[in-house]
Structure 1
Amino acid sequence: MFKRIDHVEIIPSDIEVSITFYTEILGFKIKQREEVDASPIKEVVYLELDDSMLELLSVEEPKSSSKTEWQVGYRMLALEVKDIEDTIKYLEDKGIEISWGPVDLGSSKRAEIRDPDGLPIELRQW
């Protein structure tokens, strides 16, 4: 009945800054971008990374999200990486700060970064 997660939806404070971060830093590709007339939504952008997809929504007057770390709701996006140390070096070279880790968990390694709006992104090497 259910096949897979189709996409994760994010409302950024500045869609251009987020598009740049997700495409130029994390390697997503723009699949589709279109303006819409469905207030408060102004524009929809789909970004692909292999078989994963993000949907960025540009909305009128986006509100800041809560900074409470352990609130009910979605906690973070997680990206699988080939080599955590190489990924961390690459990100640091691009000016992206590692907000947590890396930690060796035995069968995997984990670290975290933040997107331009401070949304957490887990990096996981299996």
Structure 2
Amino acid sequence: MSKLFNHIHHIAIICSDYEKSKDFYNRILGFEIIREVYREARQSYKLDLSIDGKSQIELFSFPITPKRPSTPEACGLRHLAFAVTNLDDVIRHLEANGIECEPIRVDEFTDKRFTFFKDPDGLPLELYED
């Protein structure tokens, strides 16, 4: 069987405070805005952000959104991981912007360093050092 999938196209995230999350993903994490649309019928923003020129985050806002039941072991997406070249540099950047990171851990199978932090809605995000 030939390969079915090429890469991850996008990850969709629903936020509770659109402006705060837009600032977080664009200014702090540095993801480039591709397009921003307000959908009047849904009273919802949709913001497309480029992670690496290939993969994207779709950031949505809706008038009413239920909270995540727990973290990170809630059923569904456990966390989203971003590959980084220098973990220490990224942690310093996040902390300089008021974002707390967990202590660095080491993957017992790959010996790679990683840590977790949260987006404005508490979505668990991981930094994984390549």
Q: TM-score, normalised by structure 1?
A: 0.89
Query: 1:42 aligned to 2:44?
Result: yes
Structure 1 residue 72, shift from structure 2 partner: 2.0
Q: 1:107 aligns with which of 111, 117, 122?
A: 111
More strand by share: 1
Which among 4, 7, 11 is matched to residue 10 of structure 2?
A: 7
TM-score normalised over the length of structure 2: 0.86
Going from structure 1 to structure 2, the CA distance change for 1:22 and 1:80 (only over 3 Å counts) comes to: same
Q: How does 1:66-81 map to 2 (within 5 A)?
A: 66-81=69-84
Per-residue CA shift, 1:38-89, capped at 9, x if unaligned? 43x5221101121221001111212212125312210111111111111111
Question: Which segment drifts farther, 104-113 or 55-64?
Answer: 104-113
Residue identity matched to 2:45: E
Number of residue-to-residue matches in the alignment:
124
Among 20, 24, 40, the alignment partner of 1:21 is: 24
Identity of matched residues, %: 35
Aligned CA-pair RMSD? 1.6
1:123 and 2:127 aligned? yes
Q: Which stretches in structure 2 are left out of the alignment for 5+ residues?
A: none
